[in-house]
Amino acid sequence: MKVLLIGSGGREHALAWKISASPLLDKLYCAPGNPGIADHAELVSLNVEDHDAVVAFAKEKTIDLVVIGPEAPLVDGLSDSLRKNGIRVFGPSQGAAQLEGSKGFTKDLCARFNIPTGAYGRFNNAPKAKAYIRQQGAPIVVKADGLAAGKGVVVAMELEDALEAVDACFEGAFGQAGAEVVVEAYLDGEEASFFCLCDGKTAIPFGTAQDHKRVGDGDTGPNTGGMGAYSPAPVMPAEMVERTMKELIEPTMRGMAELGHPFSGILFAGLMITKDGPQLIEYNTRFGDPECQVLMMRLQSDLLELLTASADGKLDEVSPTFSDETALTVVMAAKGYPEAPQKGSVIKGLDEAAKTEDVKIFHAGTALKDGNLVANGGRVLNVTATGSSVSEAQTKVYEAIEKIDWPNGFCRRDIGWRAIIREQEQ
Protein backbone atom coordinates (compact mmCIF):
# COMPACT_ATOMS: atom_id res chain seq x y z
CA MET A 1 0.00 0.00 0.00
CA LYS A 2 0.99 3.61 -0.53
CA VAL A 3 0.15 5.81 2.43
CA LEU A 4 0.14 9.57 2.99
CA LEU A 5 0.33 10.68 6.62
CA ILE A 6 -0.61 14.27 7.47
CA GLY A 7 1.07 16.00 10.42
CA SER A 8 4.42 16.86 11.99
CA GLY A 9 4.30 16.08 15.71
CA GLY A 10 5.42 13.34 18.04
CA ARG A 11 2.05 11.69 17.46
CA GLU A 12 2.76 11.44 13.75
CA HIS A 13 6.30 10.18 14.35
CA ALA A 14 4.85 7.33 16.44
CA LEU A 15 2.23 6.61 13.74
CA ALA A 16 4.87 6.68 10.99
CA TRP A 17 7.06 4.30 12.98
CA LYS A 18 4.24 1.76 13.37
CA ILE A 19 2.89 2.15 9.83
CA SER A 20 6.38 1.61 8.42
CA ALA A 21 6.60 -1.69 10.33
CA SER A 22 3.59 -3.07 8.45
CA PRO A 23 4.23 -5.75 5.83
CA LEU A 24 1.34 -4.19 3.89
CA LEU A 25 3.30 -0.96 3.31
CA ASP A 26 5.07 -0.24 0.04
CA LYS A 27 5.67 3.48 0.43
CA LEU A 28 4.99 6.08 3.12
CA TYR A 29 4.83 9.83 2.48
CA CYS A 30 4.38 12.39 5.24
CA ALA A 31 3.32 16.03 4.87
CA PRO A 32 5.03 18.00 6.26
CA GLY A 33 6.67 15.57 8.74
CA ASN A 34 9.79 16.25 10.83
CA PRO A 35 13.41 14.98 10.94
CA GLY A 36 12.42 11.94 13.03
CA ILE A 37 9.62 10.98 10.65
CA ALA A 38 12.14 11.22 7.79
CA ASP A 39 13.61 7.91 9.04
CA HIS A 40 10.37 6.18 8.01
CA ALA A 41 8.79 8.29 5.28
CA GLU A 42 9.51 10.54 2.34
CA LEU A 43 8.68 14.06 3.50
CA VAL A 44 6.59 16.21 1.18
CA SER A 45 5.85 19.90 1.53
CA LEU A 46 2.13 20.12 0.93
CA ASN A 47 -0.09 22.91 2.20
CA VAL A 48 -2.76 20.81 3.92
CA GLU A 49 -5.16 23.76 3.93
CA ASP A 50 -5.15 23.52 0.14
CA HIS A 51 -7.41 20.49 -0.28
CA ASP A 52 -7.01 20.48 -4.06
CA ALA A 53 -3.25 20.18 -3.66
CA VAL A 54 -3.60 17.23 -1.27
CA VAL A 55 -6.08 15.52 -3.60
CA ALA A 56 -3.80 16.11 -6.60
CA PHE A 57 -0.81 14.64 -4.75
CA ALA A 58 -2.80 11.60 -3.64
CA LYS A 59 -3.97 11.00 -7.20
CA GLU A 60 -0.55 11.50 -8.73
CA LYS A 61 1.07 9.05 -6.32
CA THR A 62 -1.91 6.62 -6.37
CA ILE A 63 -2.19 6.79 -2.58
CA ASP A 64 -4.22 3.92 -1.08
CA LEU A 65 -4.83 5.53 2.31
CA VAL A 66 -4.49 9.04 3.77
CA VAL A 67 -4.04 9.12 7.55
CA ILE A 68 -4.85 12.50 9.09
CA GLY A 69 -3.06 13.08 12.43
CA PRO A 70 -4.10 16.51 13.80
CA GLU A 71 -7.53 18.00 14.47
CA ALA A 72 -7.34 21.16 12.35
CA PRO A 73 -7.52 19.45 8.93
CA LEU A 74 -10.32 17.18 10.22
CA VAL A 75 -12.42 20.10 11.42
CA ASP A 76 -11.59 21.80 8.11
CA GLY A 77 -13.12 18.90 6.14
CA LEU A 78 -10.02 17.44 4.49
CA SER A 79 -11.44 13.91 4.83
CA ASP A 80 -14.54 14.90 2.88
CA SER A 81 -12.52 16.54 0.10
CA LEU A 82 -10.45 13.37 -0.28
CA ARG A 83 -13.41 10.97 -0.11
CA LYS A 84 -15.31 12.98 -2.69
CA ASN A 85 -12.41 12.23 -5.00
CA GLY A 86 -12.48 8.52 -4.28
CA ILE A 87 -9.47 8.57 -1.96
CA ARG A 88 -9.59 6.34 1.13
CA VAL A 89 -9.10 8.17 4.44
CA PHE A 90 -8.52 7.28 8.06
CA GLY A 91 -10.28 10.03 10.00
CA PRO A 92 -13.75 11.47 10.63
CA SER A 93 -15.76 13.64 8.26
CA GLN A 94 -16.13 17.35 8.98
CA GLY A 95 -19.58 16.68 10.43
CA ALA A 96 -18.26 14.00 12.76
CA ALA A 97 -15.22 16.12 13.73
CA GLN A 98 -17.66 18.59 15.32
CA LEU A 99 -17.25 16.39 18.38
CA GLU A 100 -13.90 18.13 18.80
CA GLY A 101 -14.54 21.31 16.82
CA SER A 102 -17.48 22.50 18.92
CA LYS A 103 -17.73 21.84 22.63
CA GLY A 104 -21.33 23.05 22.53
CA PHE A 105 -22.19 20.47 19.84
CA THR A 106 -20.81 17.70 22.05
CA LYS A 107 -22.63 18.92 25.15
CA ASP A 108 -25.92 19.01 23.21
CA LEU A 109 -25.25 15.47 21.97
CA CYS A 110 -24.64 14.35 25.56
CA ALA A 111 -27.89 15.95 26.71
CA ARG A 112 -29.90 14.41 23.88
CA PHE A 113 -28.47 10.90 24.13
CA ASN A 114 -28.08 10.73 27.90
CA ILE A 115 -24.27 10.62 27.99
CA PRO A 116 -22.88 11.42 31.47
CA THR A 117 -21.16 14.82 31.61
CA GLY A 118 -21.29 18.01 33.71
CA ALA A 119 -24.35 20.31 33.56
CA TYR A 120 -23.73 23.19 31.14
CA GLY A 121 -24.92 26.29 29.38
CA ARG A 122 -24.03 27.71 25.92
CA PHE A 123 -23.71 31.48 25.55
CA ASN A 124 -23.00 33.97 22.80
CA ASN A 125 -22.74 37.02 25.05
CA ALA A 126 -21.00 37.88 28.31
CA PRO A 127 -23.93 39.11 30.47
CA LYS A 128 -25.89 35.87 30.09
CA ALA A 129 -22.80 33.71 30.66
CA LYS A 130 -21.97 35.69 33.80
CA ALA A 131 -25.50 35.49 35.14
CA TYR A 132 -25.39 31.70 34.75
CA ILE A 133 -21.98 31.54 36.48
CA ARG A 134 -23.24 33.64 39.42
CA GLN A 135 -26.26 31.40 39.71
CA GLN A 136 -24.17 28.18 39.66
CA GLY A 137 -21.25 29.41 41.80
CA ALA A 138 -17.59 28.27 41.80
CA PRO A 139 -15.77 26.01 41.16
CA ILE A 140 -16.90 26.15 37.54
CA VAL A 141 -15.33 25.70 34.12
CA VAL A 142 -15.37 28.19 31.23
CA LYS A 143 -14.51 26.99 27.70
CA ALA A 144 -14.20 28.61 24.31
CA ASP A 145 -16.51 26.62 22.03
CA GLY A 146 -14.10 26.08 19.13
CA LEU A 147 -10.55 24.81 18.58
CA ALA A 148 -8.10 26.76 20.74
CA ALA A 149 -5.03 24.48 20.69
CA GLY A 150 -5.76 23.25 24.21
CA LYS A 151 -5.74 26.78 25.64
CA GLY A 152 -9.41 27.71 25.65
CA VAL A 153 -10.32 26.18 29.03
CA VAL A 154 -10.29 27.89 32.44
CA VAL A 155 -11.01 25.76 35.48
CA ALA A 156 -12.08 28.52 37.87
CA MET A 157 -11.90 27.75 41.58
CA GLU A 158 -13.11 31.32 42.32
CA LEU A 159 -16.10 33.13 40.83
CA GLU A 160 -13.94 36.11 39.80
CA ASP A 161 -11.68 33.92 37.64
CA ALA A 162 -14.68 32.50 35.82
CA LEU A 163 -16.10 35.96 35.13
CA GLU A 164 -12.71 37.13 33.84
CA ALA A 165 -12.47 34.08 31.59
CA VAL A 166 -15.81 34.98 30.02
CA ASP A 167 -14.56 38.50 29.27
CA ALA A 168 -11.31 37.17 27.81
CA CYS A 169 -13.23 34.86 25.49
CA PHE A 170 -15.64 37.48 24.20
CA GLU A 171 -12.82 40.03 23.90
CA GLY A 172 -11.21 37.70 21.38
CA ALA A 173 -8.47 35.87 23.33
CA PHE A 174 -9.20 32.77 21.22
CA GLY A 175 -10.40 34.51 18.08
CA GLN A 176 -13.41 32.96 16.37
CA ALA A 177 -13.16 29.88 18.65
CA GLY A 178 -14.33 32.09 21.54
CA ALA A 179 -17.34 33.62 19.80
CA GLU A 180 -19.41 31.17 21.81
CA VAL A 181 -18.70 30.08 25.38
CA VAL A 182 -19.63 26.87 27.14
CA VAL A 183 -19.88 27.04 30.93
CA GLU A 184 -19.89 23.70 32.67
CA ALA A 185 -19.97 22.12 36.10
CA TYR A 186 -16.64 21.31 37.69
CA LEU A 187 -16.07 17.54 37.81
CA ASP A 188 -14.03 16.09 40.64
CA GLY A 189 -12.01 12.91 40.22
CA GLU A 190 -9.05 11.44 38.35
CA GLU A 191 -8.64 12.05 34.62
CA ALA A 192 -8.04 9.40 31.99
CA SER A 193 -7.68 9.34 28.23
CA PHE A 194 -9.67 6.58 26.55
CA PHE A 195 -9.39 5.67 22.86
CA CYS A 196 -11.72 3.81 20.52
CA LEU A 197 -11.13 2.82 16.95
CA CYS A 198 -14.35 3.46 15.02
CA ASP A 199 -15.71 2.84 11.53
CA GLY A 200 -19.10 4.55 11.63
CA LYS A 201 -20.84 1.49 13.08
CA THR A 202 -18.39 -0.38 15.30
CA ALA A 203 -16.26 1.09 18.10
CA ILE A 204 -13.52 -1.00 19.66
CA PRO A 205 -11.53 -0.02 22.74
CA PHE A 206 -8.05 1.01 21.69
CA GLY A 207 -6.19 1.65 24.91
CA THR A 208 -6.11 3.92 27.92
CA ALA A 209 -3.57 6.48 29.07
CA GLN A 210 -3.05 9.26 31.54
CA ASP A 211 -1.71 12.60 30.41
CA HIS A 212 -0.05 15.35 32.49
CA LYS A 213 -1.47 18.63 31.23
CA ARG A 214 0.19 21.15 33.52
CA VAL A 215 3.65 22.42 32.67
CA GLY A 216 5.16 21.98 36.14
CA ASP A 217 5.96 19.17 38.56
CA GLY A 218 3.15 18.30 40.95
CA ASP A 219 0.63 19.37 38.28
CA THR A 220 1.30 23.09 38.71
CA GLY A 221 1.45 26.00 36.27
CA PRO A 222 -0.46 26.60 33.05
CA ASN A 223 -2.11 23.91 30.92
CA THR A 224 -0.15 22.60 27.94
CA GLY A 225 -0.81 20.14 25.12
CA GLY A 226 0.52 17.47 27.49
CA MET A 227 3.92 17.05 29.19
CA GLY A 228 4.01 13.26 29.46
CA ALA A 229 1.80 10.20 29.54
CA TYR A 230 1.72 6.55 30.35
CA SER A 231 -0.40 3.61 29.26
CA PRO A 232 -2.35 1.72 30.43
CA ALA A 233 -4.07 3.96 33.00
CA PRO A 234 -4.62 2.02 36.24
CA VAL A 235 -7.75 4.14 36.87
CA MET A 236 -9.30 2.35 33.84
CA PRO A 237 -9.52 -1.35 34.72
CA ALA A 238 -11.62 -3.64 32.47
CA GLU A 239 -14.90 -2.90 34.28
CA MET A 240 -14.41 0.87 33.89
CA VAL A 241 -13.66 0.38 30.18
CA GLU A 242 -16.85 -1.65 29.88
CA ARG A 243 -18.91 1.02 31.63
CA THR A 244 -17.40 3.72 29.45
CA MET A 245 -18.24 1.77 26.30
CA LYS A 246 -21.81 1.27 27.41
CA GLU A 247 -22.56 4.64 29.00
CA LEU A 248 -20.56 6.99 26.74
CA ILE A 249 -19.15 5.49 23.55
CA GLU A 250 -22.11 3.42 22.37
CA PRO A 251 -24.69 6.22 22.74
CA THR A 252 -22.22 8.57 21.04
CA MET A 253 -21.86 6.22 18.06
CA ARG A 254 -25.64 5.79 17.86
CA GLY A 255 -26.25 9.52 18.27
CA MET A 256 -23.73 10.55 15.62
CA ALA A 257 -25.21 8.08 13.14
CA GLU A 258 -28.70 9.38 13.91
CA LEU A 259 -27.55 12.96 13.32
CA GLY A 260 -26.18 11.94 9.93
CA HIS A 261 -22.52 12.05 11.00
CA PRO A 262 -21.45 8.44 11.62
CA PHE A 263 -18.08 8.56 13.36
CA SER A 264 -15.06 6.86 11.86
CA GLY A 265 -11.43 7.27 12.86
CA ILE A 266 -10.15 7.48 16.40
CA LEU A 267 -12.45 8.74 19.12
CA PHE A 268 -10.52 10.07 22.12
CA ALA A 269 -12.65 10.53 25.23
CA GLY A 270 -11.17 12.78 27.91
CA LEU A 271 -12.78 11.31 31.01
CA MET A 272 -13.14 12.28 34.63
CA ILE A 273 -13.48 9.15 36.75
CA THR A 274 -15.73 10.46 39.50
CA LYS A 275 -17.16 8.65 42.49
CA ASP A 276 -20.28 8.05 40.37
CA GLY A 277 -18.34 6.61 37.42
CA PRO A 278 -16.98 7.94 34.12
CA GLN A 279 -18.06 11.41 32.98
CA LEU A 280 -17.14 13.03 29.69
CA ILE A 281 -14.87 16.09 29.88
CA GLU A 282 -14.44 16.34 26.13
CA TYR A 283 -14.11 14.40 22.92
CA ASN A 284 -11.21 14.67 20.52
CA THR A 285 -11.44 13.14 17.09
CA ARG A 286 -7.80 12.12 16.68
CA PHE A 287 -5.08 10.38 18.66
CA GLY A 288 -3.84 12.23 21.74
CA ASP A 289 -0.39 13.72 21.70
CA PRO A 290 1.59 12.43 23.66
CA GLU A 291 -0.87 9.58 24.41
CA CYS A 292 -0.44 8.14 20.90
CA GLN A 293 3.27 7.62 21.52
CA VAL A 294 2.65 5.31 24.50
CA LEU A 295 -0.19 3.47 22.76
CA MET A 296 2.02 2.76 19.74
CA MET A 297 4.81 1.42 21.98
CA ARG A 298 2.34 -1.18 23.31
CA LEU A 299 0.43 -2.00 20.12
CA GLN A 300 1.27 -5.48 18.85
CA SER A 301 -1.14 -5.59 15.89
CA ASP A 302 -0.46 -4.25 12.42
CA LEU A 303 -1.47 -0.58 12.66
CA LEU A 304 -1.90 -0.16 8.92
CA GLU A 305 -4.31 -3.09 8.77
CA LEU A 306 -6.37 -1.53 11.60
CA LEU A 307 -6.46 1.95 10.05
CA THR A 308 -7.54 0.45 6.73
CA ALA A 309 -10.27 -1.60 8.43
CA SER A 310 -11.55 1.61 10.06
CA ALA A 311 -11.57 3.42 6.71
CA ASP A 312 -13.36 0.50 5.02
CA GLY A 313 -16.01 -0.03 7.73
CA LYS A 314 -14.60 -3.46 8.54
CA LEU A 315 -13.59 -3.15 12.17
CA ASP A 316 -15.81 -6.11 13.02
CA GLU A 317 -13.15 -8.25 11.29
CA VAL A 318 -10.15 -7.21 13.44
CA SER A 319 -9.15 -7.42 17.09
CA PRO A 320 -6.19 -5.31 18.12
CA THR A 321 -3.79 -6.58 20.77
CA PHE A 322 -1.55 -4.59 23.09
CA SER A 323 1.35 -5.77 25.22
CA ASP A 324 0.73 -5.91 28.98
CA GLU A 325 3.80 -3.78 29.57
CA THR A 326 3.60 -0.16 30.62
CA ALA A 327 4.83 2.54 28.28
CA LEU A 328 5.73 5.99 29.54
CA THR A 329 6.75 9.11 27.66
CA VAL A 330 8.24 12.37 28.90
CA VAL A 331 7.96 15.49 26.76
CA MET A 332 11.07 17.63 26.48
CA ALA A 333 10.01 21.18 25.69
CA ALA A 334 11.89 24.32 24.72
CA LYS A 335 12.37 26.79 27.59
CA GLY A 336 9.53 29.31 27.58
CA TYR A 337 6.86 26.71 26.66
CA PRO A 338 3.87 27.05 26.72
CA GLU A 339 3.85 30.88 26.55
CA ALA A 340 6.84 31.68 24.35
CA PRO A 341 9.09 28.71 23.50
CA GLN A 342 12.55 29.68 22.26
CA LYS A 343 13.37 28.22 18.88
CA GLY A 344 16.70 27.38 17.30
CA SER A 345 18.76 25.89 20.16
CA VAL A 346 20.95 22.89 19.28
CA ILE A 347 20.13 19.41 20.63
CA LYS A 348 22.88 16.79 20.99
CA GLY A 349 23.26 13.28 22.33
CA LEU A 350 20.06 11.79 20.92
CA ASP A 351 21.79 8.77 19.33
CA GLU A 352 23.44 7.88 22.63
CA ALA A 353 20.17 8.40 24.57
CA ALA A 354 18.24 6.23 22.11
CA LYS A 355 20.57 3.30 22.91
CA THR A 356 19.13 3.09 26.44
CA GLU A 357 17.37 -0.24 26.84
CA ASP A 358 13.72 -0.25 25.65
CA VAL A 359 13.83 3.46 24.83
CA LYS A 360 12.48 5.12 21.69
CA ILE A 361 12.70 8.86 21.06
CA PHE A 362 9.99 10.49 18.98
CA HIS A 363 10.55 13.88 17.40
CA ALA A 364 7.93 16.63 17.67
CA GLY A 365 9.09 20.23 17.10
CA THR A 366 12.56 19.54 15.68
CA ALA A 367 14.28 20.77 12.53
CA LEU A 368 17.64 20.32 10.87
CA LYS A 369 19.76 23.46 10.51
CA ASP A 370 23.32 23.50 9.20
CA GLY A 371 23.63 19.80 9.97
CA ASN A 372 22.43 20.23 13.58
CA LEU A 373 19.18 19.11 15.13
CA VAL A 374 17.50 22.20 16.58
CA ALA A 375 14.34 23.03 18.55
CA ASN A 376 11.60 24.25 16.25
CA GLY A 377 8.51 24.36 18.44
CA GLY A 378 7.20 24.14 22.01
CA ARG A 379 7.11 20.41 22.57
CA VAL A 380 10.26 19.10 20.94
CA LEU A 381 11.05 15.48 21.90
CA ASN A 382 9.13 12.57 23.43
CA VAL A 383 11.47 10.25 25.28
CA THR A 384 9.57 6.99 25.62
CA ALA A 385 10.21 3.60 27.21
CA THR A 386 8.48 0.37 28.08
CA GLY A 387 8.82 -1.54 31.34
CA SER A 388 7.12 -4.07 33.56
CA SER A 389 5.81 -1.24 35.76
CA VAL A 390 5.33 2.52 35.55
CA SER A 391 8.31 2.98 37.90
CA GLU A 392 10.55 0.86 35.70
CA ALA A 393 9.52 2.62 32.48
CA GLN A 394 9.99 5.99 34.19
CA THR A 395 13.52 5.08 35.36
CA LYS A 396 14.53 4.15 31.81
CA VAL A 397 13.11 7.38 30.36
CA TYR A 398 14.93 9.63 32.83
CA GLU A 399 18.13 7.62 32.31
CA ALA A 400 17.89 8.39 28.58
CA ILE A 401 17.09 12.06 29.24
CA GLU A 402 20.32 12.38 31.26
CA LYS A 403 22.23 11.61 28.04
CA ILE A 404 20.55 14.36 26.02
CA ASP A 405 22.63 17.49 25.81
CA TRP A 406 20.14 20.33 25.39
CA PRO A 407 20.64 23.18 27.88
CA ASN A 408 17.71 25.08 26.41
CA GLY A 409 15.21 22.27 27.01
CA PHE A 410 13.29 21.17 30.08
CA CYS A 411 10.93 18.42 31.16
CA ARG A 412 8.80 17.42 34.12
CA ARG A 413 10.54 15.12 36.56
CA ASP A 414 7.45 13.38 37.92
CA ILE A 415 5.62 11.87 34.93
CA GLY A 416 3.64 8.86 36.16
CA TRP A 417 3.48 10.02 39.78
CA ARG A 418 -0.10 8.91 40.45
CA ALA A 419 0.53 5.39 39.18
CA ILE A 420 3.87 5.19 41.00
CA ILE A 421 2.19 6.03 44.31
CA ARG A 422 -0.31 3.24 43.56
CA GLU A 423 2.54 0.83 42.80
CA GLN A 424 4.31 1.74 46.04
CA GLU A 425 1.13 1.18 48.04
CA GLN A 426 0.71 -2.34 46.64
Nearer to ligand GLY, 217 or 399 (CB): 217
Asked if residue 207 lies in contact with residue 298, where contact means CB atoms within 8 angstroms, the answer is: yes
- Contact status: 299 vs ligand AMP (CB under 6 A): no
- CB neighbours (10 Å) of residue 275? 6
Q: Which residues are CB-contacts of 91 (< 8 A; sequence separation ≥ 6)?
A: 66, 67, 68, 74, 78, 79, 97, 264, 265, 285, 286
List the one residue from 18, 88, 213, 418 that touches ligand AMP (CB under 6 A).
213
408-419 burial, b if ≥16 CB within 10 A, otherwise e? bbbbbebbbbbb
Provide the 3-class DSSP secondary structure of residue 281: strand
Query: From ligand AMP, ligand GLY, none, which one binds at residue 225 (CB under 5 to 8 Å depending on kind)?
Result: ligand GLY
263 — phi, psi (to 5°)?
A: -95, 125
Please tell me the distance from the alpha carbon of residue 219 to that of residue 415, in angstroms, as a whole number.
10
Query: From ligand AMP, ligand GLY, none, which one binds at residue 288 (CB under 5 to 8 Å depending on kind)?
Result: ligand GLY
List the one residue from 118, 178, 232, 288 that touches ligand AMP (CB under 6 A).
118
- Contact status: 234 vs ligand AMP (CB under 6 A): no
What residues line the site for ligand GLY (CB under 6 A)? 150, 211, 225-226, 284, 288-289, 291
Q: How far is the CB of 405 from ligand AMP (least distance, A)?
A: 32
According to DSSP, the β-strands at 277-284 and 326-334 are unpaired
Nearer to ligand GLY, 150 or 234 (CB): 150
Q: Three-state SS across 364-417?
A: CCEEEECCEEEECCCEEEEEEEEECCHHHHHHHHHHHHHCCECCCEECCCCCCH
- Contact status: 225 vs ligand AMP (CB under 6 A): no
Closest CA to 224 of 96, 343, 341, 390: 341
Q: Which residue's Cβ lies closest to ligand GLY?
A: 226
Please tell me the distance from the alpha carbon of residue 29 to that of residue 344, in angstroms, as a whole number.
26
Long-range contacts of 232-238 (CB under 8 A, 24+ apart): 232/207, 232/208, 232/298, 232/322, 232/326, 233/192, 233/193, 233/208, 233/209, 233/419, 234/419, 234/422, 235/190, 235/192, 235/210, 235/273, 235/418, 236/192, 236/194, 236/208, 236/271, 236/273
Nearer to ligand AMP, 223 or 301 (CB): 223
Q: How far is the CB of 26 from ligand GLY (least distance, A)?
A: 30
Nearer to ligand AMP, 82 or 147 (CB): 147
User: Binding segment for ligand AMP among 16-24, 81-89, 185-193, 398-406 (CB under 6 A)?
Assistant: 185-193
Give the per-residue contact string, 142-181, with ligand AMP (x = CB under 6 A; - = no): --------x--x-x--------------------------
Q: How many residues bind ligand AMP (CB under 6 A)?
A: 14
Q: How far is the CB of 150 from ligand GLY (least distance, A)?
A: 6
Query: From ligand GLY, ligand AMP, none, which one binds at residue 141 (CB under 5 to 8 Å depending on kind)?
Result: ligand AMP
Please tell me the distance from the alpha carbon of residue 20 to that of residue 14, in angstroms, as a whole number.
10
Please tell me the distance from the alpha carbon of residue 341 to that of residue 410, in angstroms, as a whole number.
11
Q: How far is the CB of 64 from ligand GLY (least distance, A)?
A: 27
- Contact status: 190 vs ligand AMP (CB under 6 A): no
List the one residue from 15, 110, 141, 327 that touches ligand AMP (CB under 6 A).
141
Asked if residue 272 lies in contact with residue 278, where contact means CB atoms within 8 angstroms, the answer is: yes
Query: From ligand AMP, ligand GLY, none, which one binds at residue 197 (CB under 5 to 8 Å depending on kind)?
Result: none
Nearer to ligand GLY, 63 or 249 (CB): 249
- Contact status: 286 vs ligand AMP (CB under 6 A): no
Nearer to ligand GLY, 123 or 263 (CB): 263
Nearer to ligand AMP, 141 or 177 (CB): 141
User: Binding segment for ligand AMP among 44-52, 53-61, 183-191, 413-421 (CB under 6 A)?
Assistant: 183-191
Please tell me the distance from the alpha carbon of residue 74 to that of residue 71, in angstroms, as a whole number.
5
Query: From ligand AMP, ligand GLY, none, which one binds at residue 145 (CB under 5 to 8 Å depending on kind)?
Result: none
Please tell me the distance from the alpha carbon of residue 26 to that of residue 272, in angstroms, as a whole number.
41
Q: How far is the CB of 15 from ligand GLY (least distance, A)?
A: 13
Give the binding site for ligand AMP (CB under 6 A).
118, 141, 150, 153, 155, 184, 186-187, 191, 213, 223, 270, 281-282
